[in-house]
Amino acid sequence: MATLSLSDETLRNLVQGPGDVEWRYEMRRECQEILPGLLLGPFQASKSLETLKSLGVTHIVCIRDQKEAFSVRPRFPDHFQYLVLDVEDNEEQNVIRLFPEADQFIQQALNQGGKVLVHCNGGISLSPAFVVMFVMRHCQLSWEDALHLVQNRRYCISPNGGFLTQIKEYESIYKAKAAVANFPVAPMQRVVSRRKRDDEEDDSRSVFRFSRVQ
């Protein structure tokens, strides 16, 4: 599992958040940098080509409810790489199932030295849920720390109750995958498994020969 190369001290500072930011209401219409190269905001932040270029954005994840598709859509496909996800903003929507596609897109963009804006319509519930899971997985944080890290930069986020439950569930999912990745099958176990397969194949061939003789 790929993780971001951040020191423990850097992570602590990120979770605590900047102490000198005075949040203003109009800032909810802007995007904020959550991690180096990862921005979170509303659809409003994706509508100005000049602003996006000034921020160095190269990739955009557009998360929207299907009924918003006529307005919340890629505006500058000739200038940025887009990933569009149709997600219902309700408590029954399974965001864990949809997260891997966004995760891969964001990670590849960052690996290429790009800068990613993740947005939904308001930047309050949908897109923050995906960003919190990304932060949790790649910084290897608890769901509480990941949520605080994101909220300390974009104060207005408020994932709905269903999303918040899934964010909590995702912690055990990503930790289980990390544990499997960190403890691959030992060479001896592979040998035993191979021998077992060979024995099973020999047995099946014997049964086949016996059937032929009958």
Tokens (6 digits) for 2: 């790929």
> Catalytic residues, which ones?
120
Backbone angles phi, psi at 34, to 5 degrees: -90, -50
Q: Are strands 81-86 and 59-64 parallel, antiparallel or unpaired?
A: parallel
Backbone angles phi, psi at 72, to 5 degrees: -90, 95
Q: For 172, left (φ over 0), alpha (ψ -120 to 50), or beta?
A: alpha
